[in-house]
Structure 1
């Protein structure tokens, strides 16, 4: 198992207790998932979000618009168990897929558009803000046509969320590798397992968050983004990990969107157990682990490049190790909290299946290799998305 390094700083925790411990409040989970809309026959992007959303059944706060009209999004209710989260994800995906089919579309759980996005870019109905974003950031807005999975873990007050973030961030590269599902972009193989992670990090307000020495430091960092023009507002704080701007949660934004619900549940289980582990360590007054910023940034790139099938960097030592070993080290670290939540058996089986069957990126490349046709990749993604 990979052991965290020694520490130079410490934080105290205020807020909810550790998941599953006697006399404490269990941590909750919620997931936001973004999807592309493609023509059911040609598999090309279509700006049909307004029509699909108008006919989709369900709570409009749970099925709603995203940044462009090529995209739609679901937001699950707060769940206290992985089983409940699975039920909510299945119901919301099914409702959205049905509405898409009614308009000649299919739902695509794809982090990247795979083929070239047709121009001009069709922005969402938040026109004034979107136009200003396009004016200020130019071609960067093309990367809005990408889909991630955002995992919320709560309930956490701001001080606790900031302190926990410092302990979760070393494992962000491993979460990226586990979810890697975007090797193709703009009609070509990018040479990366998660090109979305690379493309999205070109935004000045995205990528790895800083290590925060305090909540005041976090607030100053956000103010610097706004004051420098790097972000229009707090909605544009695109870090891989952040205290949510709307909810009392820690929001993990790094993973790619993946088609299978089992992968979504695994990511949520791992995220919640990581937060629970951090809370326990904070309650025990353990200092933050030492992680070199340059090593962590390299680890993030290597995870996006190699995905789960290649190598990664140990975030604590910088040593090159198989990405599968990093994934298993993460599972070992958080196993007590997974067990306390009743998630250990599923997480272990899901991870073993992923290591056996390959990541989404590997499955996409295998589909393309059969005929050299990207339509086969798009069809695979559509079929897996609708495999409820």
Structure 2
């Protein structure tokens, strides 16, 4: 059984207006004071309107779910003392002027990348899954490539940008793609080739260090994990758990294929980019690019093909029934993007969208 950990980026918003607020330093100080400096789950992010937390690794998905709820609730409590709230939104529905953090790294990014850095107020979800070695990890990266766009479509939770409907289900993915190191990658074939490519990228001088390797999925530099970074932060905790189940299933399935001598699908990066664009555009509400055929199919077909692909791994991990239930719910009720648009259609107010999403963030429905 592989362990799984999750990193989530959350939006800090004003409790009354719903507008994003640059309060991360104050929230972090409050969290440190309340825990006597012993709680290091929370971290700052690129913009001061964001707050990040990371869970411990878990093999039991119930424990992972409980920790996600725990940190979301604690973040909400710390923010509340400052007249703010947290929202698991991948972009701010309301207009915002993002404030870049004060650290040396963030200042370097702003100097080097200008408007790209200033506009990167986006919140993602990163799923870490244990791998035994770099050999296994790179083999996994090579084999999960075609499936990552479906994870993006499922998690899509950013339809609004600067007070307007972007026309996308995940506009975060379009903004994030402005980084020169972001997106899908070629097949590496070996750890040596993987690390040589990263070294070559850093050597161009365009990147500060290997922490700026923003691939859709990569080997973690800090943990023995594959880190899948393609998803929007999910509106409700249960959706994050579903994402973690599917990612663990993908990693285990890919590792089994590698051990069985099955080669990775030779899908070119050009097609993976188009599949990612379509997933960001459509979410679950239109066609997606089939990971198997690289042709347009209904979103339901693409999602079901992913589920069947990882089904043996889900069954072996004891995740199948819960994953099936959670997936049925998101297909029936919609992902975060659809929910946000339905709230706007019902209320006519982006402020009400934020208010309802704040309510759903800690415990869902």
Report TM bin, short chain: over 0.9
> Quick check: 1:198 aligned with 2:174?
yes
Aligned residues: 360
Instruction: Encode CA deviations 1:168-211: one digit per residue, 9 max, x unaligned.
Output: 11101000000011010111111110000111011101111222
63-72 or 183-192: which moved more? 63-72
> RMSD in angstroms over aligned alpha carbons?
1.4
Quote the offset at 1:93 in angstroms.
1.1
Equivalent of 1:47, from 22, 45, 55?
A: 22
Please tell me whether the aligned partners of residues 175 and 255 of structure 1 are also in contact (alpha carbons under 8 angstroms): yes
Instruction: Encode CA deviations 1:286-311: one digit per residue, 9 max, x unaligned.
Output: 11123233222211111110001210
- How many Å separate the matches in 2 of 1:45 and 1:313? 34
What residue number does 1:19 align with?
A: none
What residue number does 1:158 align with?
A: 134
Unaligned runs of 5+ in 2: none
Local SS of the residue matching 1:69:
coil
Quote the offset at 1:130 in angstroms.
1.4
TM-score computed with the length of structure 1 as normaliser: 0.90
What residue number does 1:38 align with?
A: 13
Please tell me whether the aligned partners of residues 206 and 239 of structure 1 are also in contact (alpha carbons under 8 angstroms): yes
What residue number does 2:255 align with?
A: 279
Please tell me whether the aligned partners of residues 291 and 315 of structure 1 are also in contact (alpha carbons under 8 angstroms): no
Matches for 1:20-31 after TM superposition, within 5 Å:
26-31=1-6
What residue number does 2:100 align with?
A: 123
Local SS of the residue matching 1:254:
strand
- How many Å separate the matches in 1 of 2:244 and 2:186? 23
- How many Å separate the matches in 2 of 1:125 and 1:337? 43
Quote the offset at 1:64 in angstroms.
1.8
What residue number does 2:331 align with?
A: 355
Please tell me whether the aligned partners of residues 45 and 101 of structure 2 are also in contact (alpha carbons under 8 angstroms): yes
> Quick check: 1:96 aligned with 2:75?
yes
- How many Å separate the matches in 2 of 1:366 and 1:177? 17
What residue number does 1:114 align with?
A: 93
What residue number does 1:260 align with?
A: 236
Instruction: Encode CA deviations 1:49-81: one digit per residue, 9 max, x unaligned.
Output: 111111224553212211121111110011111
- How many Å separate the matches in 2 of 1:152 and 1:237? 15
Please tell me whether the aligned partners of residues 28 and 154 of structure 1 are also in contact (alpha carbons under 8 angstroms): yes
361-370 or 30-39: which moved more? 361-370
Matches for 1:138-157 after TM superposition, within 5 Å:
138-157=114-133
Equivalent of 2:64, from 85, 92, 104?
A: 85
